[in-house]
Structure 1
Amino acid sequence: MTEVEARDRTAIAELVRLFFAAFTSGPDLPEQLEAMRRTLLPQAVIVRTGGGEPAVYDADTFIGPRRELLSGGRLTDFSEWQVSGRTEVFGDVAAHFCGYAKSGVQDGTPFTGQGMKSFQFVRTGAGWRISAVAWCDEQES
């Protein structure tokens, strides 16, 4: 791996880390959500799928409800983290596919879950940015 490839992979890994870090309830939530916003292209497309029609968001319609959910008191002790993943880079485009886990307490009831996320990245003049994210939580059978 060349030095440039290693830097690209490090930059992409940091974007993924910042994206997941934004889903942690607590006093650092405003800063975490703002850091995640900076990882996204302004026109980024974010899609939740699994068990019905996909829900499609832009940065604002994605971040706003999560800010409310994570700071409103109904969801506490929440975090989400990557458990495995792989990244492919070609020129100015890259993709990262990963498994993740999550846990928290919603309305007084502890829960855990897991799923898969797919990230698309593009290189900009300001560095790598997320152009799209799609995820699917594991469905109960």
Structure 2
Amino acid sequence: MSPETDTAEIEALVRVFFEAFTSGPELPTRMARLRSILLPEAVVIRTCGLDPVVSTVEGFIAPREALLSGGTLVDFKEWSLSGRVDRFGDIAHWFGAYAKSGRQDGAAFTGQGMKSLQFIRTPDGWRISAAAWDDERDGLAILELPGVG
């Protein structure tokens, strides 16, 4: 494949990843799509200024699916603000800024942070092998980064 085709496929997977985290109709379909783009052995890590939480694919998806369908988190969505793809052969990395908004228990909120998604090329196409993120908080803000901000 050409580098442009690889980058386009990876960017499409990034969109699927973020679109999965949307409350409302079609949640089961979005979660199924998310599962399909992650390697079954993928590792997902949340930092956010706390002790890192390392999850399996199901350990990551199941609680989020329950939260997004439970009725206490509504009008929720996440989206990419900007990012870049670096690729060499059959490995790639997307690093970028993202934002989120919603209403939790009736209170509106917003936030943003940075996500790192690692990809490998499989016989079925590119798949996410790892994901990690950190969110803005007191003392940590997204700065303009080359190719990101």
* TM-score, normalization by structure 1: 0.96
Residue 87 (structure 1) aligned to one of 85, 88, 100? 85
Identity of aligned residues (%): 56
Structure 2 gap segments, 5+ residues each: 140-149
Instruction: Report the Cα distance in structure 2 between the residues aligned to 1:50 and 1:65, rounded to whole angstroms.
Output: 17
1:29 aligns with 27
2:54 is aligned with 1:62? no
Counterpart residue identity of residue 68, structure 1 = A
Query: 2 CA distance for matches of 1:89 and 1:135?
Result: 20
- 1:101 aligned residue: 99
Structure 1 runs of 4+ with >3 Å offset: none
Write out per-residue CA displacement over residues 31-56 of structure 1, whole angstroms, 9 at most, x where no aligned residue. Answer: 00110111100000000002221001
AA partner of residue 93 (structure 1) = I
Deviation at 1:65, TM superposition (A): 0.1
1:1-141 paired onto structure 2 within 5 Å: 4-141=2-139
Superposed displacement of residue 137, structure 1 = 1.1
Amino acid at match of 2:25: P
How far apart, CA to CA, are the structure 1 residues paired with 2:26 and 2:13? 17
| Code of the aligned partner of 1:29 | L
Counting matched residue pairs gives: 139
For 1:61 and 1:7, how far apart are their aligned partners in 2? 32
RMSD between aligned residues: 0.8
Task: Give the unaligned 5+ runs of structure 1.
Answer: none
Residue 16 of structure 2 aligns with an amino acid whose one-letter code is L
SS class of match (1:25):
coil
How far 1:139 sits from its partner (Å)?
1.2
